[in-house]
Amino acid sequence: MIYLDHAAGTAVDPEAVAAMLPYFYYDYGNPSSIHPLGRRAREAVERAREQVAQLINCQPNEVIFTSGGTEADNLAILGVAGANVSKGRHVITSQIEHHAVLEACRNLERNGFEVTYLEVDPFGIVAPENVRDAIRPDTILVSIMTANNVIGTIEPVAEIGAICQKLGVLFHTDAVQAVGHLPIDVERSDIDLMSLSAHKFYGPKGVGALYARGSVALSPIIFGGGQEEGLRSGTENVPAIVGMGAAAEIARYESAGEEFCLRKMSRDLIAGIMTSVPGSRLNGHPDKRLPGNVNVSIEGMEGEYLSGELAKRGICVSTGSACSSATHEAPYVLLATGLDRDLANCSIRLSLGKHTTDEDIKRAVQTLSEIVQKVRAESEVYSRW
């Protein structure tokens, strides 16, 4: 099996698994309890908070653990909106955000807010000037992702952050695809809020975090016992949080080297597909892209069909994004870049990870080329009929 779907989820690092295990069976106390088992769970959660904070350069008390990237996005958008209604009811985002951001914004619209969905250029980049031009006196939040999950484009978040900072508007970024893969520094980029998800950087599923600068006013979206400073009630998922902390620490040491290897393999994969599959094109930006993301369109080859044929041969890739393949909707991210509907439907995403090898890349190129040749040879026969 060759796994080229790391943008949808990664294997949990064995060291992270080892760190988690004691918290299922030995140190299973509730972090809110004051007895020794509770205290040990609390210490583990606080250590993980420090590990996550170090990865992104913030204070530990600015990290709120959530159930994942989706909840972090919802808490950022609905939480800022809830705490700032008196200041205004306008939010700015882009057309290519993850569903977690887009649907949270649609929810705001149903509740009397106005949302501007900025266009992107053909590479999928949001122009900072467009953000500046869209800001109004009643704008309370700008939410632009750090890197896109479908096409891998890296957005100019530092420039956008500087504009927001200057104009006094809060800036949130969904950095789920970037954290643990690219150097991220919330201070340097003027980021007020940032979403993270552990399973995108070799941590477990079902845990993530929202970074919220100390001064940011947020309303909770989940109510109860007041955990996470009242911003995320519910007993902490201690093993998962510990796993996220461990994964963050591993990423801090390994991600730079990993980025270098992934960039090389991605270049080989792109070059391999472009030379051996006629009618193929790279989607997204040629170099401002995530190190492990390769998104290509191949003329006349439906993405759904291609990924199915690759799967039969043991190669796991995805079309558009994991979310859109479940609902079979048009790949909105590609359409937003101006790609026509046919080519947008003929796209697949191959996303590499730290266990990907040069051999995997060679086999993926070869298999893809064989499938395309076979289909084209057959359709040639049919067309002669």
Interface residue with ligand PLP, options 200, 232, 285, 354 (CB under 6 A): 200
CA distance 350 to 324: 15
250: exposed, middle or buried (Cβ count in 10 Å: 0-12, 13-18, 19+) = buried
CA distance 105 to 222: 17
Q: Are strands 90-94 and 139-143 parallel, antiparallel or unpaired?
A: parallel
Segment 8-27, which members bind ligand PLP (CB under 6 A)?
A: none
CA distance 66 to 228: 9
Q: Compare residues 100 and 270 and give the one whose CB is closer to ligand PLP.
A: 100
Segment 256-315, which members bind ligand PLP (CB under 6 A)?
A: none
Site stretch for ligand PLP (CB under 6 A), options 39-47, 160-168, 197-205, 281-289: 197-205
Q: Based on the shown chain and the rule CB under 6 A, indicate whether residue 197 belongs to the binding site for ligand PLP.
A: yes
**Closest residue to ligand PLP, based on beta-carbon distance:** 69
Instruction: Give the total of residues touching ligand PLP (CB under 6 A).
Output: 15
Q: Based on the shown chain and the rule CB under 6 A, indicate whether residue 145 belongs to the binding site for ligand PLP.
A: yes
**Amino acid making up residue 4:** L
Segment 96-125, which members bind ligand PLP (CB under 6 A)?
A: 98, 100
**Amino acid making up residue 346:** C
Question: Alpha-carbon Rg of the chain, whole angstroms?
Answer: 22
Contacts of 147 by beta carbon, 8 Å cutoff, 6+ apart = 153, 154, 155, 175, 177, 178, 182, 289, 290, 293
Q: Based on the shown chain and the rule CB under 6 A, indicate whether residue 194 belongs to the binding site for ligand PLP.
A: no
From residue 349, alpha-carbon distances to 202, 253, 263, 304, 327 in Å are 19, 27, 15, 11, 17
Interface residue with ligand PLP, options 63, 115, 176, 210 (CB under 6 A): 176
Site stretch for ligand PLP (CB under 6 A), options 109-117, 194-202, 283-291, 349-357: 194-202
* Residue 323 is among the residues annotated as catalytic for this protein: yes
CA distance 263 to 42: 39
Segment 45-104, which members bind ligand PLP (CB under 6 A)?
A: 68-70, 73, 98, 100
Catalytic residues: 323
Which residues make up the interface to ligand PLP (CB under 6 A)?
Answer: 68-70, 73, 98, 100, 145, 149, 174, 176-177, 197, 199-200, 208
